[in-house]
Chain A
Amino acid sequence: MLEARAEALGRRGQRIEERNATRDLVFWDPRALEAVMQVAAQRRLITADDSNPGWAATLRQWWARLEFVSGRWWIVDQRDLTPDTWRPVVKLTGWVGTGS
């Protein structure tokens, strides 16, 4: 999927650039194995006709459901959440780093 998207972008001479990204795990359900990660960044779309567009701030929350199969973690479903379904930001990064 990602390769297909990259190929589609490349075919049109486009490239998405992102900088100053911060990522926070804002939700984790250990039973349902669902996680929501918030990504705040600056982003721009490089095109063949505009190699230096301005940067715009972006924000998104990415939801994923995971499965542990045959010793490996798999993302079995995922999507960007629309803002009306965003999770409140409760930064859990400290907790994640101490997981075992």
Chain B
Amino acid sequence: MRRLLAVAVGLTLAFHPVRAAASPTSGSQGYGDPPGWCTNFSDMWTATIVTNDPHVGTNPERNTFYGFHPNPGYDDWYGYFYGDFRGSPGDASGWVKLLHENYPDHYHWNFATNGWAVHGHAKQYIAYYNWTFGGQCGLGSYGDAAPAPFMADQYGYPVVDIYVDSVSPYAPRPRVIDMTTSSVAFTWDPVDDRGDGAGSDFFAAGMDHYSSWLTMNGSPGRLQLASTNRPRTLEQTGLTPKDMACAHVVAFDRLQNATAEQVACAGRLAPPPVPAWKAIETQVVANPRVQGLVGLDSWFWLVPSPAPMTMHETYRGIDYALTAVPTRASWDFGDGDTAQYSDSSGYGKEYPQPSSVKHTYEAHDQAGYRVRSAVQYEVTWTASIEGRRLGPYPLGTMGLDALPLRYSVEQAQPELIGL
């Protein structure tokens, strides 16, 4: 209950600026009071402003230039500024005359009046100098070597610490982190607030949140819209081949400076285009090597023996690996006979090993039979997303022809060599 009460009181008062006791540096960091600064007769309200407006529209001092002294008196108003208010961090203006005031008129001044804009930190001192009422803070006068009695504004905020961050955070980069053949998921990395100003006057309000959502197929409807303090995963399921999902992310800092909408789009994980396979060409080899003999088995095999092949290709920004694994082979011996092999025995064995692919020709052919073989491959593909390999998924079969062999076959002639 005590906590609740304390918070309730805090909630009430947190609305309001506070009055702080004057301190040697009037309660702010980095820059000391300027020369000739006199706080006599001032309530010494101080304020700290944190805003995204470089022209500091909420500057509580911008409309407080009222005359204090009836005729024959008048006041000149001066400001002393530190920090990044005219484009250079660490700047100090010296005492700048802001305006001359005739009682009882009142006047306005703000940064834009001088063409200034605050980026990062600036510290503002506002004082008046009364030409006919000197002596309150000493007898100096403007332009003298002695400090002039620049008297702190009595009823406004003579000292204001201003912090401006008008720059958006670094842009988040949505990206695909997971895909299946029917879904896609996006995320993004955390980003920092870019901050404003430079050097000792740099100020960053800090990151606040991300707004993120999905759209489908160019429709403006926002799906899964949410505001989160950290990156999240956006996933769309049930995708058809024609669907395209887009992740949208906007980053906000604590002063609501927002990045432009960042977008990444992707469909479901789709098969890549079938590449032109550049396999090592196999060729048909036989034994007997040069000529076969009618009635005698000829052995055949493929060189090199078919083996799995892998190709990489990039399609729509995704790295795919396609793998073709040989599964079977068919043969055409050129004399009308064919053979089918449903496993690796169809690739034959290199002589002198006995090959499983054999054929006996029954007639000679001087010109040679055209012996052909085709190997069937089963093709699968995988995709690499965020360093993970997804798949394998089937991509069908393909056949690759081996280089044919022109194979002449001779008829052995009996020859009488003796009686």
Contact = CB atoms under 8 A, between A and B. Distances in A.
To the question of whether A and B form a pair in one complex, the answer is yes
Interface of A: 1-2, 4-5, 8, 11-12, 14, 16, 18, 21, 23, 25, 28, 30, 33, 35, 37, 39-40, 43-45, 47-49, 53-54, 56-60, 62, 64, 66, 68, 73, 75, 78-84, 89, 96-97, 99-100
Give the most central of A25, A56, A82: most B CB within 10 Å.
Answer: A56
B52 to A, nearest CB: 4
Interface in B51-108: 51-53, 57-60, 62-64, 66, 106, 108
A23 B52 CA distance: 18
20 contacts: A2-B13, A5-B16, A8-B155, A23-B14, A30-B3, A35-B7, A44-B58, A47-B63, A49-B63, A56-B52, A56-B58, A58-B58, A60-B48, A62-B18, A73-B2, A80-B48, A81-B48, A82-B48, A83-B163, A89-B206
Contacts of A97: 4
B17 interface: yes
Given A35-B6, A40-B208, A62-B18, 12 more contacts: A8-B156, A14-B63, A37-B11, A56-B57, A58-B58, A64-B9, A66-B6, A68-B2, A73-B5, A75-B10, A83-B48, A83-B163
Contacts, number: 130
Contacts of A35: 6-7, 10
Given A8-B155, A59-B254, A80 B11 contact: no
Per CB-CB distance, the 7 closest pairs between chain A and chain B, nearest first, are: A99-B3, A56-B53, A57-B255, A62-B14, A57-B52, A57-B256, A80-B48
A11 B5 CA distance: 33
Main secondary structure of the interface of A (DSSP, over half): strand
A58 B108 CA distance: 22
Given A1-B19, A43-B58, A45-B57, A12 B48 contact: no
Main secondary structure of the interface of B (DSSP, over half): loop
B265 interface: no
Contact of A62 (B13, B29, B64): B13
Of the four ranges (under 10, 10 to 19, 20 to 34, 35 or more), the interface on chain B belongs to: 35 or more
Given A68-B2, A83-B50, A5 B255 contact: no
B226 to A, nearest CB: 17
Give the most central of A11, A47, A58, A75: most B CB within 10 Å.
Answer: A58
A73 B6 contact: yes
B13 A78 contact: yes
A12 B43 CA distance: 16
Given A56-B51, A73-B2, A99-B1, A12 B63 contact: yes
Contacts of B2: 68, 73, 99
A47 B14 CA distance: 22
A79 B18 contact: yes
B6 A33 contact: yes
A21 B15 CA distance: 9
B165 to A, nearest CB: 9
A27 B59 CA distance: 28
